[in-house]
A = this chain, B = another copy of it.
Amino acid sequence: MSSKAKQPNSYRGRYSEPLPTVNLVEDEEDFPEFEAFESDDATPRGFAPSGEPLSVKKVDMLQQKNMREHFTSEYDIDQLVVRRGQEFMMQVTFDRPLVDGDDFQVEFLIGVNPTASKGSMVLVTFGNRNGGPWKGRILEHQGEYVLLGITPTPKAIVGRFRTYVAVVDGAGMKRTKRDISTDVYVLFNAWCPEDAVYVDNNAERLEYVLNEHGVIYQGSLDSLVNRSWVYGQFQLGILDACILILDKSKMAIHDRGDVIKVVRKGSAMINAQDDSGVLVGNWSDDYSMGHSPTSWTGSINILMKYYNTGVSVSFAQCWVFAGVFNTFLRALGIPSRVITNFSSAHDNTGNLKTDLIFREDGTKDEAHTRDSIWNYHCWNEAWLTRQDLPAGFGGWQVVDSTPQETSDGHYRCGPASVKAIKEGVLCHQYDAGFVFAEVNSDIVFHKRDRYGTLTPFRLETSLVGLAIYTKALNGSGHVDITENYKYPEGSTEDNATMATAEQYGSQRNHSSIPDNPLTVSVYAEQVLLGQDVSLQVNFTNRENTARTIKAHLAGSIVFYTGVEASRFKELDFTVTVPANQTITEVIPISGQEYAPHLGSQVSMTFIVTGKSGEDSVTGIKLLNLQTPTLIVKLSGRSRVGNMMNVNIFFTNPFSFALVNVHLAMEGPGLISFRTRYYSIIEPGGSLNWMEVFRPRRAGNRTLVAVLDCNNLRQVMGVAYVKISG
């Protein structure tokens, strides 16, 4: 790569130099080895005071000691990795003992055309002269050895700096040569109170910056699916891949100390739309041109593919975007987590209405319904102090890299303050109104008459944003963080929030909706995929006269986005409900009825609609089918360097064969990514996949395994182990 980017000619009247946007330039030659001072009669020529010129023999970045202090030891990187706003040491060996009057400085450069006024060239001096914003001091001085302490500002640019030691030598500066081994990565610092990502709780820092493993919640509240995810932010190559993402986004080097800009840029770059970002979204059943979203065990493979090829990786759905974005954030030192919003309103232009349209006969009018409620949606939170907002809006911020077709036409979202969302203060940047709608939309049920006119007949204010989950600090369990986003439904504070949100332009439905004495609810126990379902439909009549209801049941396979994939059942029936009573109809749904229609989906909806005179009722049940799990067994002494075994067991419990079966496993610090392929697993057939490995790092470690095939997704397994050092 040429180190000097060519200035586009049509902009030559705007910049004397091109705006530097590339960090990873390994062959950059910044200086001649000796740079003469410019002629300047006003300043007397200097000479080395001892008469003997000074030069540098060796520069030692003291990686091991520094990285322990900076909580960066886990990065599998030869160079020094430090967090800004915190002192690190380097040892310089000169060719002779230092004497009074010897003058040297350390220089850190990032990107092409680095410049002191933009913080991309930092000069560190040691008490003798004015230097740049990073502080330097001599910690120890013994003969030719000098131990230096250097503290980057808490606003330093984040990325990979090149290090030079420059000695003032008479008529100029004599510098060390470019040496990749003295490069230093500077990260955001959650341990530094002056950093915009400061977290004051150690357990939280350990989880949200340092944990390489996470759990992403899927499914629904009553059939929760835990998907283990390997973030792998310390793996060899991952930090460079994250810096490459910023390079490919053409983000100016001198903006990369601003964490708000970095997370916003990240939310745009993790998806491939617009900008050749990391991941291509695919919400279909056809993943033949890539890997299915359910087949990934974590972020490492995805980021390394992108790093090695520069081409967007196929395919992702929301949890994949969120998982990879989380790796990006943690790798750069930004505290972050993946959260799941159950029943997430989508694609409705940020208004507080999700409109579902029904026909006059009560059945759902798919052709005229444009909005959808996703069974769940995953996004990220990043912990930022938000100096750009009024006080009180720091803390967790929503960032979302799943491409949202209707979010201002740009495929990025956030950072939006979670506190601002809770209070309905939607005027603050960025995209708070959009996130507010995802967790707070009302569902408006409209009846569409024969003339095309819509009349709302039911309003549900509590079905969207049912709960918001994230992984607990300890272990792999979930914690419910709904109260971070919302006051209790119907509380005084909740009403105030909704009123505030409307002041800022979010539109709600205020149609008067007639009271309805009839209601219907639908219920079913969770079952294993393929098993029979017993559907319970409860009709309630709160009137003092009996009512006869003409009812209709529609059973559909749905994507997790709520969109219908296929309909497998239609049933008309009639129920008479006595005054002030509830009647329950039980409708059996056999495995044979739905299983052939599943494709790779695991969710069904049952919509019961009823009509009695002018009154319409609607009940909806989302049912997530349980999938079998992989059994993951570790054996052997769990000690660094010792040989261990992992066995993965699986039996096909279904009456149908599984074909084109891909298995994958990985465990950061334990075992690198491995795959295995079976062309077919017959009904009742079993597999036992064994691999051997030697743990490389001590501590609590996780191994994640996934099975994926065209007719069965969502089969996972995980094992935890503590490795001793």
Give the segment of A89-97, A112-120, A526-534 that binds chain B. A112-120
Report whether A284 and B168 are in contact in the complex, using a CB–CB cutoff of 8 Å. no
Q: Which residues of B contact A655 (CB under 8 A)?
A: none
Q: Which residues of B contact A389 (CB under 8 A)?
A: 427, 504
Query: Given A173-B451, A366-B16, A368-B115, do A10 and B255 touch, yes or no (CB 8 Å)?
Result: no
* Closest CB in chain B relative to A445 CB, distance in Å: 11
Give the segment of A50-58, A558-566, A662-670 that binds chain B. A558-566
Give the segment of A34-42, A77-85, A323-331, A540-548 that binds chain B. A34-42
Report whether B315 and A10 are in contact in the complex, using a CB–CB cutoff of 8 Å. yes
A454 at the interface (CB under 8 A from B): yes
A310 at the interface (CB under 8 A from B): no
Q: Which of B13, B130, B368, B433 contacts A388 (CB 8 A)?
A: B433
* Closest CB in chain B relative to A481 CB, distance in Å: 25
Q: Which residues of B contact A367 (CB under 8 A)?
A: 16-17
**A463-522 interface (Cβ within 8 A of B):** 503-505
* Closest CB in chain B relative to A138 CB, distance in Å: 17
Give the CA-CA distance A366 to B16 in the complex, in Å.
7
Give the segment of A121-129, A632-640, A701-709, A712-720 that binds chain B. A121-129
Report whether B13 and A116 are in contact in the complex, using a CB–CB cutoff of 8 Å. no
Q: Which residues of B contact A347 (CB under 8 A)?
A: 14-15, 19
A390 at the interface (CB under 8 A from B): yes
Query: Given A38-B450, A284-B9, do A117 and B355 touch, yes or no (CB 8 Å)?
Result: yes
Give the CA-CA distance A37 to B449 in the complex, in Å.
10
Report whether A390 and B14 are in contact in the complex, using a CB–CB cutoff of 8 Å. no
Q: Which residues of B contact A261 (CB under 8 A)?
A: 408
Give the CA-CA distance A606 to B168 in the complex, in Å.
35
Report whether A284 and B427 are in contact in the complex, using a CB–CB cutoff of 8 Å. no
* Closest CB in chain B relative to A416 CB, distance in Å: 11
* Closest CB in chain B relative to A285 CB, distance in Å: 8
Report whether B116 and A452 are in contact in the complex, using a CB–CB cutoff of 8 Å. yes
| 0/1 interface trace, chain A 251-277, chain B, CB 8 Å (1 if under) | 110110000010011000000001000
A282 at the interface (CB under 8 A from B): yes
Give the CA-CA distance A370 to B359 in the complex, in Å.
63
* Closest CB in chain B relative to A8 CB, distance in Å: 9
* Closest CB in chain B relative to A652 CB, distance in Å: 26
Determine the residue in chain B with the shortest Cβ distance to A282: B10
Give the CA-CA distance A130 to B511 in the complex, in Å.
13
Q: Which residues of B contact A132 (CB under 8 A)?
A: 453-454
* Closest CB in chain B relative to A713 CB, distance in Å: 13
Report whether A284 and B357 are in contact in the complex, using a CB–CB cutoff of 8 Å. no
Report whether A118 and B370 are in contact in the complex, using a CB–CB cutoff of 8 Å. yes
* Closest CB in chain B relative to A627 CB, distance in Å: 18
Give the CA-CA distance A561 to B130 in the complex, in Å.
33
Q: Which residues of B contact A453 (CB under 8 A)?
A: 116, 123, 125, 129-132
Query: Given A16-B563, A370-B17, A451-B168, do A281 and B430 touch, yes or no (CB 8 Å)?
Result: no
**A152-187 interface (Cβ within 8 A of B):** 166, 168, 173
A426 at the interface (CB under 8 A from B): yes
* Closest CB in chain B relative to A46 CB, distance in Å: 9
Residue from A9, A15, A131, A564 having most chain B Cβ neighbours under 10 A: A15
Report whether A117 and B368 are in contact in the complex, using a CB–CB cutoff of 8 Å. yes
Report whether A14 and B116 are in contact in the complex, using a CB–CB cutoff of 8 Å. no
**A98-142 interface (Cβ within 8 A of B):** 105, 107, 115-118, 121, 123, 125, 129-132
**A326-353 interface (Cβ within 8 A of B):** 346-347, 349
Q: Which residues of B contact A564 (CB under 8 A)?
A: 16
Q: Which of B105, B284, B285, B427 contacts A429 (CB 8 A)?
A: B427
Report whether A559 and B14 are in contact in the complex, using a CB–CB cutoff of 8 Å. yes
Q: Which residues of B contact A265 (CB under 8 A)?
A: 409
A573 at the interface (CB under 8 A from B): no
Interface residues of A (CB under 8 A from B): 9-17, 19, 37-38, 40, 42-43, 105, 107, 115-118, 121, 123, 125, 129-132, 166, 168, 173, 249-252, 254-255, 261, 264-265, 274, 280-286, 315, 346-347, 349, 355, 357, 359-361, 366-372, 387-390, 405-406, 408-410, 426-430, 433, 446, 448-455, 503-505, 559-561, 563-565, 611
Can you list 9 A-B pairs, Cβ within 8 angstroms, ordered by A? A13-B285, A13-B565, A40-B359, A43-B360, A123-B453, A252-B349, A261-B408, A387-B503, A387-B505
Other A-B contacts than A40-B450, A387-B505, A390-B504, 6 sampled, CB-CB below 8 A, are A12-B283, A13-B559, A14-B563, A16-B564, A19-B347, A40-B360
